[in-house]
Amino acid sequence: MSVLLTDENNRVGLIKIWRHAPLKDNRPNLFPVFPDNLDLGDYFIETIRGGVEKEDSNSIESGLREALEEINLKKSDVVETAYIQKIIPNTAIDVSSVDIVHVKINSENLNIKLQKEESIANFEFYSKKQLIQMIRENKIRCSITLATLNHFLIQ
C-alpha cells in the first residue's frame, strides 16, 4: 500500500527514509553477505507505504495507520480519502501488488513527529513543479513512489 498524501495547497507529502539498496547502479547489492560499506544503502524520498496488517480492514485504513505511525498523522487532520488503484510491479499478479490510496489532509494544525526507529529523517510537501524537477534530476528513485506520483502529475 502506498499513500498519495496531499494537502489543501495541492502539494504532495513525502518522507526521506533510509533503505538498504545498492548505491552504485553498476554493482549488485551484496547485502547481507560480506557487504561493501558503500553499497549498504541510502536515504530515499518516498511516499508513506507499508503492508496491510491483520487489524486493517482495507487499504485506506492501512494507509491511515501507516501515516499515523510514520509521521503522526491524526484522523482529525484528514479531509478525504479514496482508493486509487492496484499496481503490479511484476507480470505475475501473485508475486506482488501495491494498492495506491489518496489521503487529502488539512496541514494547518499538522503536528509532525517522525518515526525515528524506521530511520525517517524528514517529511516535506512538494508542488507538482518541484516533483517534476526532482524526477528529472533522479532524486526520486523508488518505483512505487514514482507509480504513485503518476496519478498526481497527470491531473
pLDDT attached to residue 59: 93
pLDDT digits (tens, 9 = 90+) for 54-91: 888 899 999 999 999 999 999 999 999 999 999 887 76
Closest by Cα among 43, 133, 148 to 99: 148
pLDDT attached to residue 56: 83
Compute the average pLDDT of residues 4-16.
Answer: 97
**How would CATH label the architecture of 2-153?**
Alpha-Beta Complex (3.90)
Name the grid cell of 92.
505475475
Query: CB under 8 Å to 17, separation ≥6 — which residues?
Result: 43, 44, 46, 118, 119, 120, 121
What SS3 class is residue 99?
Answer: strand
Q: Which residue has the higher pLDDT, 93 or 51?
A: 51
- The number of angstroms, rounded, from the C-alpha of 52 to the middle of its chain's C-alpha atoms is 14
pLDDT attached to residue 116: 82
pLDDT digits (tens, 9 = 90+) for 12-55: 999 999 887 655 555 555 555 545 555 567 889 999 998 878 88
Question: CA-CA distance, 153 to 83, in Å (whole number)?
Answer: 17
pTM of the full predicted structure?
0.85
pLDDT attached to residue 112: 93
